[in-house]
């Protein structure tokens, strides 16, 4: 048993006894001393803060919104009184339901005299991961920013370049032109335990380098908006402006990036979420090496197993992920996974909930093989599946709507195989049909919804895969010929590939 130090007060004769108030003060001082606090299990965060504050930065961004583009015919008055202009803009935008998104500090200002625009400023946090100026923050902190400024604890300021960002994990990598910078030590979120003390440093409401502490509330939380991040849930006070700041363990190592709060008021309510540092660094390395982020994809829609479903499928308890839909031409379809299968484990990791699956799949390298254990018709079996790259959201949605349409991002088209009726009517043996024209080269070339693309760059289009292969080889900055059929007549159009 650990012995606890007792506070002994000297004995005095009656005439020299200490006043009761003084005794109370001495007792209070003894109980709140650092030594006694450590004995009682309360951590001392002062060392962590002193060692790491210099590498935590404030990030301010500026977004310029063009008024004329959002409100045709409306122009800012020249040389207005700033106070009157701010009031006028606020009332006008609120009236039209187009109030600009205020930054995390709610600051906004009108643009210059020569430019019908308003500037919206926002604030966030970040931290330095290399002495040559690489900084990590959240994607939503810098998304769409026209200017990003990184401010150090010693009040130095640097313009930052966004090297890349990933909205699916909410991670962004910045670079500032500086050397010999202080750097934070990275730890492991996997070794965290629920109930362990953690600490955050950030700039809530523009109060630079504010320190808050709490405990790990849960691990592996999946939120509806970010299915590929197993969040760390904490009760650390996180508020607007903390986004992108580091979450430390008691060894002073970064174990996560503070990203979101769950709140009914917009302020801290005791539920905060941080991105595990391992997930963030995987994103950072991909951005550094390839300039983009790719992640694994299985191609299934899954749902949670309830007690009733578990009973109907012969499970002793609810667990796993129930396959509700398989997307066409997906890794799951190619591997033979069927609707109604219950996925029990992925690469040896048991699936307690359906939400456990997406983060595990997302972290598998594209082209690598994974092992799925599943339950089918009451029998357990193991299937090998080759993981492919996760398509963009538009293509996934299109495949989910019957599996017909496919987005061709480089051309700016949503394409589908030729319907049987159209083939017979137009006597076509090949080609693909344009279902929707998006901003891009195809729209500039004059391609319309309902057109049939017969050839591209003088190569015959047999199907969607063939078109994708041709598009990958198209030279940038040059015009290519595209043959379409419109209302029964073929016509060539020049299309310049950006």
Taking only the tens of pLDDT, the chain with its 498 residues reads 444 343 443 443 444 455 665 555 555 554 554 444 444 568 899 999 999 999 999 999 988 765 544 444 444 444 444 454 455 555 555 544 444 433 444 444 444 444 556 777 888 999 999 999 999 999 999 998 899 999 999 999 999 999 999 998 999 999 999 999 999 999 999 999 999 999 999 999 989 899 999 999 999 888 876 778 999 999 999 999 999 999 999 999 999 999 988 887 777 888 999 999 999 999 999 999 988 898 898 999 888 888 888 888 888 899 999 998 888 889 999 999 998 899 999 999 999 988 889 989 988 888 999 999 999 988 999 999 999 988 876 666 666 655 456 788 889 898 888 877 778 788 888 899 898 898 889 999 999 988 999 999 889 998 888 888 898 888 888 888 899 988 888 888 888 887
CB-CB contact of 199 with 294 (8 Å): no
Catalytic residue among 243, 259, 345, 354: 243
Catalytic residue among 122, 140, 217, 341: 140
pTM score, whole prediction: 0.66
For the domain spanning 296-389, the CATH number is 2.30.42.10
pLDDT value at position 418? 83
Pick the CATH number of 404-496 from 3.40.50.10490, 2.30.42.10, 3.40.50.2300, 1.10.3720.10: 2.30.42.10
Catalytic residue among 170, 208, 341, 451: 170
Is 16 a residue of the active site? no
Cα distances (Å, whole numbers) of residue 296 to 57, 133, 369, 385, 391: 32, 30, 10, 11, 9
pLDDT value at position 7? 40
Is 209 a residue of the active site? no
The two three-digit tokens of residue 400, written as one number: 């989910």
What residue spans in the chain does CATH classification 2.40.10.120 cover?
A: 44-292
What residue spans in the chain does CATH classification 2.30.42.10 cover?
A: 296-389, 404-496
Angle among Cα 463, 295, 245 to the nearest 5 degrees reads 145
CB-CB contact of 271 with 157 (8 Å): no
Pairwise CA distance, residues 469 & 396, whole Å: 19
Pick the CATH number of 44-292 from 1.10.1740.10, 3.50.50.60, 3.30.2290.10, 2.40.10.120: 2.40.10.120
3-state secondary structure string, the chain?
Answer: CCCCCCCCCCCCCHHHCCCHHHHHHHHHHHHCCHHHHHHCCCCCCHHHHHHHHHHEEEEEEEEEEEHHHHCCCCCCCCCCCHHHHHHHHHHHHHHCCCCCCCCCCCCEEECCCCCCEEEEEEEEEEEECCCCCEEEECHHHHCCCCEEEEECCCCCEEEEEEEEEECCCCEEEEEECCCCCCCCCECCCCCCCCCCEEEEEECHHHCCCEEEEEEEEEEEEEECCEEEEEEEEECCCCCCCCCCCEEECCCCCEEEEEEEECCCCCCCCCCEEEEEHHHHHHHHHHHHHHCCCCCEECCEEEEECCHHHHHHCCCCCCCCEEEEEECCCCHHHHHCCCCCCEEEEECCEECCCHHHHHHHHHCCCCCCEEEEEEEECCEEEEEEEECEECCCHHHHHHHHCCCCCEEECCCCEEEEECCHHHHHHHCCCCCEEEEEECCCHHHHHCCCCCCEEEEECCEECCCHHHHHHHHHHCCCCCEEEEEEEECCEEEEEEEECC
Residue from 203, 189, 193 nearest 280 by CA: 189
Is 170 a residue of the active site? yes
Pairwise CA distance, residues 451 & 346, whole Å: 43
Residue from 170, 185, 391 nearest 279 by CA: 170
């Amino acid at each position: 048993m650990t012995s606890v130090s007792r506070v002994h007060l000297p004995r005095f004769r009656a005439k020299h006894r200490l006043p009761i108030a003084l005794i109370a003060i001495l007792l209070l001082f003894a109980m709140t001393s650092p030594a006694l606090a450590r004995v009682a299990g309360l951590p001392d965060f002062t060392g962590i803060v002193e060692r790491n504050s210099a590498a935590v930065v404030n990030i301010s961004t500026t977004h310029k919104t063009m008024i004329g583009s959002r409100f045709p015919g409306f122009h800012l008055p020249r040389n207005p009184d700033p106070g009157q202009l701010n009031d006028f803009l606020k009332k006008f935008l609120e009236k039209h339901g187009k109030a600009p998104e205020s930054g995390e500090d709610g600051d906004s200002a009108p643009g210059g005299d020569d430019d019908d625009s308003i500037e919206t400023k926002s604030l966030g946090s970040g931290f330095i991961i290399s002495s040559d100026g690489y900084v990590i923050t959240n994607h939503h902190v810098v998304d769409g920013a026209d200017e990003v400024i990184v401010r150090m604890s010693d009040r130095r300021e640097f313009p930052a370049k966004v090297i890349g960002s990933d909205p699916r994990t909410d991670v962004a990598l910045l670079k500032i032109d500086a050397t010999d910078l202080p750097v934070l030590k990275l730890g492991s979120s996997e070794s965290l335990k629920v109930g362990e003390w953690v600490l955050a440093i950030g700039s809530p409401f523009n109060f630079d380098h504010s320190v808050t502490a709490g405990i790990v509330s849960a691990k592996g939380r999946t939120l509806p908006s970010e299915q590929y991040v197993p969040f760390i849930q904490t009760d650390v006070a996180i508020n607007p402006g903390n986004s992108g700041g580091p979450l430390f363990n008691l060894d002073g190592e970064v174990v996560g990036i503070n990203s979101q709060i769950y709140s009914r008021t917009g302020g801290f309510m005791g539920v905060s979420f941080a991105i595990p540092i391992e997930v963030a660094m995987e994103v950072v390395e991909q951005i550094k090496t390839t300039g983009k982020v790719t992640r694994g994809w299985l191609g299934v829609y899954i749902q949670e197993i309830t007690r009733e479903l578990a009973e109907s499928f012969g499970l002793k308890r609810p667990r796993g992920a129930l396959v509700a839909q398989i997307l066409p031409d997906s890794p799951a379809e190619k591997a033979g996974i069927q609707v109604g299968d219950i996925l029990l484990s992925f690469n040896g990791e048991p699936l307690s909930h359906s939400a456990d699956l997406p983060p595990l799949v997302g972290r598998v390298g594209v082209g690598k093989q994974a092992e799925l254990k599943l339950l089918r018709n009451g029998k357990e079996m193991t299937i090998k599946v080759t993981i492919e790259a996760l398509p963009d959201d538009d293509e996934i949605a299109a495949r989910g709507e019957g599996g017909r349409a496919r987005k061709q991002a480089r051309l700016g088209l949503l394409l589908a195989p030729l319907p049987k009726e159209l083939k017979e009517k137009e006597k076509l043996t090949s080609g693909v049909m344009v279902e929707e024209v998006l901003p891009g080269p195809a729209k500039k070339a004059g391609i319309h919804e309902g057109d049939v693309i017969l050839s591209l760059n003088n190569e015959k289009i047999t199907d969607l895969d063939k078109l994708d292969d041709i598009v990958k080889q198209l030279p940038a900055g040059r015009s290519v010929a595209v043959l379409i059929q419109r209302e029964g007549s073929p016509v060539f159009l020049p299309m310049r590939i950006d």
